[in-house]
A and B are shown apart, each in its own frame.
Chain A
Amino acid sequence: MLNVRCRSVDSLYRDHILSHYHNPQNYGLRDGFDIEIKGENPFCGDSMTVRLKFDEDVITGVSFESDSCVVSRAAASLCSEYIKGKTRDHVLAVPPEKITELLQVKPTPSRMKCVTLFLDTIRKAV
């Protein structure tokens, strides 16, 4: 049990995820947006602001900023790229497994709220 957890934690902090943390996609709130949503995970202190631009039903622009952990920001970076060009309905139906696939690693249960923070935030308004 201890060894499985160690492997998972090792993977969580691999280059792929750290690079998305240090150079996240779509980072920095941009003007010309339709909605701005704030999200929080008070359990661990993560917070995030996301701005979305729509063309009718389709997301055409995304920008975000976060005060958050590596996992949360990296997942947000990957998700922000993923949702571009997708419809509202598609975004509402994205399962947590999709984010795990984008991260290329399955986080431990205690990190799942960090992983889903971006999507949970935008789902409030989409």
Chain B
Amino acid sequence: MFKNDFPIFEHFEKQGKPLVYLDSAAMAHSPRVVIEAVAEHAGRLRSNVHRGAYSLSEEATMAYEDARETVRKFLNARSVREIIFLRNTTEALNLVAASFGISSLKEGDHILVSRAEHHSNFLPWTALREEKGVVLDIVDVDEKGEISLEWIKHALTPRTKLAAFFYVSNVLGAINPVKEWGKLFRERGIAFVVDAAQAVPHIPIDVQELGCDFLAFSGYKIGAPTGIGVLYGREELLEKMPPVLLGGRMIREVSVESASWNDLPWKFEAGTQNIEGAIGLAASIKYIESIGFEKIRKNEEMLLERSVKMLDNIPNLKLFGPKDVSRRAGVISFLINGVHPHDLASLLDREGVCIRVGHHCAMPLHKWLGVPATARASFWVYNSFEDVDALMNGIEKAISIITPDN
């Protein structure tokens, strides 16, 4: 839809091999405005932030903190003190486990997660099981990838202290009713961690409405540079949490005997951060806001509708996740009997079509689905019906090459 805003497509058109990019769930392309914002910062405002005594540094600091304010508004957080820049969703979730988890959870406390989590929202909690003797309870998804409120209630125990869930599944595309759960967890005093990595590119986020205590996302999934991500945390919780990475910038005072920590959010931003990344992230958020989520979602639902319909018509092809596209965001995973996903990806690549194959960092989910790997196509703002048709043609070609008798 907005292909012209993204230089990478023009680059491949000029080579005579148009890029049909269906892997935005792994990495979304950068619009020109983001690339230019980063280049401009590097060429005109590059300076370290917060401590400089010259005007260039002050301007760079303003740009960095303006970027933080852009993120705050994007998530509707109450204050910039609740917005922490770090590398990506994985780092954000690990920070919550290492800081909140270690300081606030005790042996015998329970953590609730789903079987369909990305490894980054699974392993930090299993680590607490090993390190602190916390009990990990796992709730299953149904075959569409959805988890009912009843199942959640059933899985809670009097000692459940933390719940960590995906907002949108990176394999099944299912959208969890996070707002409903947020209310339940708040009533029961359960800290609620939301992995929003796959939601942020597709759905507007309002952390007040969701009622979550922590929320994590990555910039590269909305076209920002790699190496920038955000942890949102409620101020009351972040205040009490100890920092994990120690060093420059996150201190107030240091002596040989002791140290005191800086205010939020800088307590959790040790050392020089990915300043250019933050600038790029702000530019990518402004780009999305210039289109508006209503348009983004409308386009995406049309693409999902067309894809689900066409894939469903291919014999020997199994679709995973909800068929109702209003309950799905961004991704479609599938498996073709007789055509290994890796072969499918290679043959699609020959046609210039990029999909992802494997376990998508969700091995427990794939084990539960009973398949070693799946093929996954994912959409973002630059995709169109032509891309969906190219995918279908490529699939049919692959089937005819690998299983010519069918």
Q: Which residues of A contact B (CB under 8 A)?
A: 2, 5-6, 9-10, 12-13, 18, 21, 42-47, 67-71, 108, 111, 114
Query: Does B149 lie at the interface of the complex (its beta carbon under 8 Å from any beta carbon of A)?
Result: no
User: Does A71 lie within 8 Å of B401, measured CB to CB?
Assistant: no
User: Does B359 lie within 8 Å of A9, measured CB to CB?
Assistant: no
Query: Does B306 lie at the interface of the complex (its beta carbon under 8 Å from any beta carbon of A)?
Result: no
Question: With a CB–CB cut-off of 8 A, which chain A residues contact B352?
Answer: 2
Question: With a CB–CB cut-off of 8 A, which chain A residues contact B373?
Answer: 44-45
User: Does A9 lie within 8 Å of B358, measured CB to CB?
Assistant: no
User: Does B372 lie within 8 Å of A47, measured CB to CB?
Assistant: yes
Quick one: closest A residue to B372, CB to CB?
Answer: A45
User: Does B342 lie within 8 Å of A42, measured CB to CB?
Assistant: no
Q: How far is the CA of A111 from the CA of B347 in the complex (A)?
A: 12
Q: A42-B363, A45-B373 are in contact. List 14 more A-B contacts (CB 8 A).
A: A2-B12, A5-B349, A6-B350, A9-B350, A18-B402, A21-B402, A43-B358, A44-B340, A45-B342, A45-B358, A67-B372, A69-B341, A71-B342, A111-B342
User: Does B372 lie within 8 Å of A71, measured CB to CB?
Assistant: no
User: Does B358 lie within 8 Å of A44, measured CB to CB?
Assistant: yes
Total A-B contacts with CB atoms under 8 angstroms apart = 61
Interface of B is mostly: helix
User: Does B359 lie within 8 Å of A45, measured CB to CB?
Assistant: yes
Distance to closest chain A CB from B389 (angstroms): 20
Distance to closest chain A CB from B233 (angstroms): 33
List of 7 A-B pairs having minimum Cβ-Cβ separation, nearest first: A45-B373, A45-B372, A69-B340, A69-B342, A44-B342, A9-B350, A69-B343
Q: How far is the CA of A92 from the CA of B135 in the complex (A)?
A: 44
Q: How far is the CA of A46 from the CA of B346 in the complex (A)?
A: 15
Distance to closest chain B CB from A96 (angstroms): 18
Quick one: closest B residue to A47, CB to CB?
Answer: B372
Query: Does B83 lie at the interface of the complex (its beta carbon under 8 Å from any beta carbon of A)?
Result: no
Question: With a CB–CB cut-off of 8 A, which chain A residues contact B340?
Answer: 44-46, 68-70
Q: How far is the CA of A126 from the CA of B401 in the complex (A)?
A: 35
Which B327-369 residues sit within 8 Å CB-CB of chain A? 340-343, 346-347, 349-350, 352, 357-359, 363, 366
Question: With a CB–CB cut-off of 8 A, which chain A residues contact B15?
Answer: 2
Query: Does B371 lie at the interface of the complex (its beta carbon under 8 Å from any beta carbon of A)?
Result: yes
Distance to closest chain B CB from A41 (angstroms): 9
User: Does B357 lie within 8 Å of A70, measured CB to CB?
Assistant: no
Distance to closest chain B CB from A111 (angstroms): 7
User: What are 9 A-B contacts with C-beta separation under 8 Å?
Assistant: A2-B17, A2-B352, A6-B17, A6-B350, A42-B372, A44-B358, A45-B342, A45-B373, A69-B342
Q: How far is the CA of A18 from the CA of B401 in the complex (A)?
A: 9
User: Does A114 lie within 8 Å of B342, measured CB to CB?
Assistant: yes
User: Does B402 lie within 8 Å of A70, measured CB to CB?
Assistant: yes
Q: How far is the CA of A109 from the CA of B95 in the complex (A)?
A: 34
Quick one: closest B residue to A68, CB to CB?
Answer: B340
Quick one: closest B residue to A13, CB to CB?
Answer: B401
Contact partner, A10, options B343, B350, B371, Cβ 8 Å: B350
Contact partner, A111, options B17, B346, B402, Cβ 8 Å: B346
Q: How far is the CA of A43 from the CA of B366 in the complex (A)?
A: 12
Contact partner, B343, options A42, A43, A47, A71, Cβ 8 Å: A71
Known: A2-B15, A2-B17, A71-B342. A46 touches B347 (CB 8 A): no
Distance to closest chain A CB from B139 (angstroms): 24
User: Does B17 lie within 8 Å of A13, measured CB to CB?
Assistant: no
Q: How far is the CA of A111 from the CA of B349 in the complex (A)?
A: 13
Distance to closest chain A CB from B336 (angstroms): 12
Distance to closest chain B CB from A4 (angstroms): 12
Q: How far is the CA of A68 from the CA of B402 in the complex (A)?
A: 13
Q: How far is the CA of A13 from the CA of B346 in the complex (A)?
A: 9
Distance to closest chain A CB from B16 (angstroms): 9
Quick one: closest A residue to B351, CB to CB?
Answer: A6
Distance to closest chain A CB from B353 (angstroms): 12
Q: How far is the CA of A67 from the CA of B349 in the complex (A)?
A: 22
Distance to closest chain A CB from B372 (angstroms): 3
Q: How far is the CA of A71 from the CA of B343 in the complex (A)?
A: 8
Q: How far is the CA of A108 from the CA of B12 in the complex (A)?
A: 20
Question: With a CB–CB cut-off of 8 A, which chain A residues contact B372?
Answer: 42, 45-47, 67
Interface string of B3-16 (1 = CB under 8 A from A): 00000000010010
Q: How far is the CA of A5 from the CA of B366 in the complex (A)?
A: 29
Question: With a CB–CB cut-off of 8 A, which chain A residues contact B350?
Answer: 6, 9-10
Q: How far is the CA of A70 from the CA of B342 in the complex (A)?
A: 9
Question: With a CB–CB cut-off of 8 A, which chain A residues contact B401?
Answer: 13, 18
User: Does B346 lie within 8 Å of A9, measured CB to CB?
Assistant: yes
Distance to closest chain B CB from A74 (angstroms): 11
